[in-house]
Every structure is written in C-alpha cells, then in structure tokens.
A and B are shown apart, each in its own frame.
Chain A
Amino acid sequence: MTVTTSAKPIVQGKNLNKSFGRVIGLNNCQFELFPGEVLAVVGDNGAGKSTLIKCISGAHEVDSGEIFVNDQEVSFKSTHDARTHGVETVYQTLAVAPALDISENLYLGREVRKKGILGKVFRSLDKKHMREVSTKSLSDLGVLTVQSITQTVETLSGGQRQAVAVARAGTFGSQVVILDEPTAALGVNESARVLQLIKDLRERGMSIILISHNMPQVFDVADRIHIQRLGRRAAVVTPQTHTMNDVVAIMTGAMTVPEEEQQLSPVR
C-alpha cells in the first residue's frame, strides 16, 4: 500500500494522553501529518478530536506522550509556542475580534513596530506595513478587495470572516494550518469558497489539518482521513479506498480496518 517511505511527518504525536478529571480525552493516541497534505480528522462527539487538536495547537498540554514538529520534540505551553513552531490554528469560534479591523486582526498578538526610536522607545506600530502585508495576503488568497482592509471585521460576512481567519493562519510563514470546522456556520457558496481556499493553501505547500463533520466536504478536499474513536486513532484511510459509509462505520465502531489496509504513509 505504501507509496513513498522517505517522507517524514511534519507533525507527529506519539502515545498522547490527556484527561480532564475522570473524563478521558486522549488515550494513547497516535497522530501523523505529512508535508503538503490535507489530513481530515473526523470522529463522533467526545471521540477526542477537539482534545487532540488543542494539544497540537498548544491550547492544552498533554498529560503524557510526545509531540514532534519537524522531527524536533516540542512542548507547547500556549498557542503562542505552537505558532513560533509554525503551527497555526483557525478556531471554530474564528478567534477574530469583531470591533478591530482586518489588518489589526491579522496581526493581533504579533504586531509589528516601526523601526528606530519611534518603535523602540515609543512602541509605535507600523500600521502602514501591516496594512500592506494584510492587503497582499488577502488578495493572494483572492478573497477581499483592497480598499476594505481597514473595515472592521464585524461588517464582514461569515465567509469573509473565515477568509480573514484563514489568511491570518497562512500569512506568517507557517507550515501547518489547523482548521476547526471551518464551514460549520457557512452557507453553500461560502463553504465552497473556503474549501477552495484550503486547496489553494495546499498548492502553496502548506500542511493542513481539517476537522469536520461534513463527510462530502472531507471527501472533497482530504488526502487522508484520520478517524478518531474513544480517545484513540481508529484508522487512517483515504477517500479512494473507503466510502463515506465505511468512515461512519469506523467512527461508530461497527467496522475495524487492519493496519495493512490503512494509509499510514503519505499519499502526496
């Protein structure tokens, strides 16, 4: 089944455990994301997919187990730590501040100061630079027109907001983008646009983790599908080898896939 064996995972989790009091979120969970792929993470409610993603994005710390980014063991204490390792997350709640404008949101938490005394002593922000980069980044993604970069985010549609959030994740030299239910709140057209955005990011060489409940969308964009069940990885399959019904069956435990039939190596 293996196509290439040379590629190493860009993000790898080994024997991850995480519990919240008596509730077990992750139970010896394995995880691999390969460079340049879209890996969908699916699972029933409470299967631990959110916990898994939060551990990888730095929002939670694992109780035990190891996380590697680019073969280097990491220990994320915050989302900021994850970001400095090139792992960006777009949250379901979007994590944009509605009253701030697009450019302020793109740079929220990593503002750029002016050069020289103005920046060093007076901490002055380089708004011009930030607006230019934001404009470029959004038009690269083909989402927004140039004149609206100082528009507040609350005046944007759901799809546009999602685009801002995705652009933020993709702008700052990140290698891995985690998207948590990016189309959950969107209409059909806007969902299609966001799916296209995901494919564009992949074309630009980014590795993407997509958490979704929407099977048709998962089968549309994913290279591989990581199925989470009862806090562990039940299987990794591809849209080519398995059907949507198979995936649902694996999610609910009605079907198991022997390891040799899984897709544990990269397909790209």
Chain B
Amino acid sequence: MSETARTTAAEEFANSATPMQKVQHALHRYPWLSPLIVLVVLILIFAILGFGFDVGSLENFAKPATISLMLQQTVIIGTLAVAQTIVILTAGIDLSIGAIMVFGQMVMANLAVSATASNVTFMAGQNPYLAVVIGIAVATLAGGVNGFLIVRFNLPPFIVTLGTLSIFTALTLIIFKARTIQGKEFEGAQDVMGIMGKDFQIGPFGFTIGLVVMLAVYVIMAYVLRGTAWGTHVYAVGDDPTAAELSGINVKRVLFSVYLAAGFIIGIAGWITIGRLGSASPNVAPEINLETITAVVIGGTSLFGGRGRLVGTLIGTFIIIILDFGLSLAGLDQAYRVLAIGILVIAAVAVDQWIRKVKI
C-alpha cells in the first residue's frame, strides 16, 4: 500500500508541466513574485527612459536624492498597509484605517501642542511621550472597537469599518474642530512629535527615522506571521474559518486580536505621519484607505484571505510610489498614475484567481 502511494506520487512528480503551469506553480508558492517583477520592470523602464531618452525630467529618476525622497515617501502608506495586510489575511477589510490614523494622530497632537498656542483644546500642554503613548493607545482601542463589533455581532468587516470610517472622521472633527496643528506649535515637544521625520545620511542617500521604524514594523510583523502560532492561526482563520475552529483555534479571539494589532500599527503610522508632514491635519491623505488596499492587493495578498506575504505588501507600496514619481517626472498628468494603478489592481486580482486554481 505504501508502495503504490509512492509510485503514484513519483508519477505525479515526474509529470512534466507546461511552461505556463510552471509559472503558475512558482506564483502559487511565492505570491510576491509577480509584484517583484512589476517593480523591477517599472524601475528599468523609468531608468532607461531617463538615461537614454529625453523624456520630461526622468533623468533625475535614478539620482540618490530622488531615490531617497521616494523611500521617505513610502512611510505612511507602507506602515498602514501592514495593518491592512493582517486584516485582509483574515479575509476581512479595513476601510477605517485612514480615519483611525487621523484620529490617533490628532489625539497625540492636541495633547502635545503647547498650551500657549491659539485655539487649543483643554488637554493641550502634556508631556509629548505621554501624548504619543495615549495616541497609539486610542488607535489600538479604535481597532479593538472594529474587532469587537465584527466578532461580537458577527457583522461583516466591510460594513463595520465603513461605519467606523464615518464615526472616527466625525469624532475627529467634533472634538478637534478641523484644526491643523503646525510643527512649530509643539514648541518644546517638537523634537519628540516630529522625530519620525528626522533624517540622516548614509552615503549619498537620505533616510528618516520613520522609514527605519516602518521597516522594523515589517520585519517584526513578518516574523510574527510566519514564525509564531498566532501567525499560522491568522492564515488559517482567513483560509478556512470552519477548519480553524474545528482544529481548536479560537477564531473570534484571533480575529479580535488582529484588529487590535492593526489599531496599534495604525497608531504608530499616525506618529510617523506627523514626522513626515511636519504637522497634524485632519485632512491628511483622504485616499489613504484605498491606497493601502491597493498596495496589499498589488503585493499579491488575496482578498479572499489566507494567502499572501508582508514582503509583497512592501513591494506593492514601492510600486505605487515609483509610479507616482516616475510618471510625474516623465511630465505626465496625475491621471495616468491613477489609470496605471487601476490596471495593476485588476491584473493583480486576476493573477490571484488564476494561481488559486493551481493543481500539482
């Protein structure tokens, strides 16, 4: 009996696959491969056009200053996309990411802003470290609210986060009166509040603390997802919740913890955003929700849950930023970038559908 099994398996193994099937298998095994190819192709196109041809100001594309700026530009979408990835891995979606980020950021800023600045709320003038901690805690709690509603009342994540998107946007405006807090209004607290935007040079390249923190979030979360039981459970819950439940996994607890963790990461992203933009504004990045989903989907993570890698999300973020820079340096209208992103998203989901049908 074991003999027959072995032959069958050997036969199946020896069955020569067509080139297309080989591609399918490779993409199935490494879902971040297709975004990586897209990224490399994009870089090559822009670099070649910049060096060999006189297209707009693309000759600046491969210069260290541009590369540094592109890297620094990834921090907001990149960090939020980590939160979006773990949510999408559970077959959920978080439309409230931007709203929670802004809310947490405004809590931080309004706590830390100098009490002598004009039009401040009653809570101004706190210790900046305390302000940051409270801001992140509030964002974590907001993520917890999403998780609680989804788990306790069995509501679809799409609906819950659509609701909390409005709720947190409104709360921000009600409590903080749509007031932008400029960096200088932090006075003594500016060093702490703006630390994520602090830059340093390595050779010709300029990096920011925020970029380092974002990469650290990626590394830590990638380890947690692939190296711990919790990570395996996140994948299992997104893949097949019934199977996960029957295997003894507490699906509700895992789901709740995912939204809580997402809230925490969103809180960190809020702090990074203050550093990146040098101010705290309730109107920052209105399209950030869709951009994080775009980064995750382009990065090869399945909207149906259970498959995808964080490294793909990082690549997806780079693709968005590089398209942004490349096309505007080429002198093209912003609309072309939106067009390209749209095509990429649909192509990414089509590829995902195709590789899910893999047969070995």
Chain A residues at the B interface, C-beta cutoff of 8 Å = 59, 78-80, 83, 89, 91, 93-100, 104, 108-111, 113, 122-125, 139, 142-145, 148, 151-152, 154-155, 193, 196
Contact = CB atoms under 8 A, between A and B. Distances in A.
9 contacts: A78-B248, A79-B246, A79-B247, A95-B247, A108-B232, A108-B233, A109-B249, A110-B248, A142-B5
Contacts of B240: 95-98
B243 A96 contact: yes
A110 to B, nearest CB: 7
A93 B359 contact: no
B10 A95 contact: no
Given A89-B246, A142-B5, A123 B228 contact: yes
A21 B243 CA distance: 26
Interface of B: 1-2, 5-6, 9-10, 13, 28, 223, 227-230, 232-233, 235-236, 239-240, 242-244, 246-249, 306-307, 358-360
B232 A144 contact: no
A2 to B, nearest CB: 35
A145 B229 contact: no
A196 B232 contact: no
B232 A93 contact: no
A193 B249 contact: no
Contacts of A94: 243
A95 B246 contact: yes
Contacts of B5: 142-145, 193
Contacts of B230: 123
B229 A59 contact: no
B228 A97 contact: no
Contact of A155 (B6, B223, B242, B359): B359
Nearest to A193: B1
A88 B307 CA distance: 27
Given A93-B243, A108-B244, A145-B5, A151 B306 contact: no
Contacts of B227: 122-125
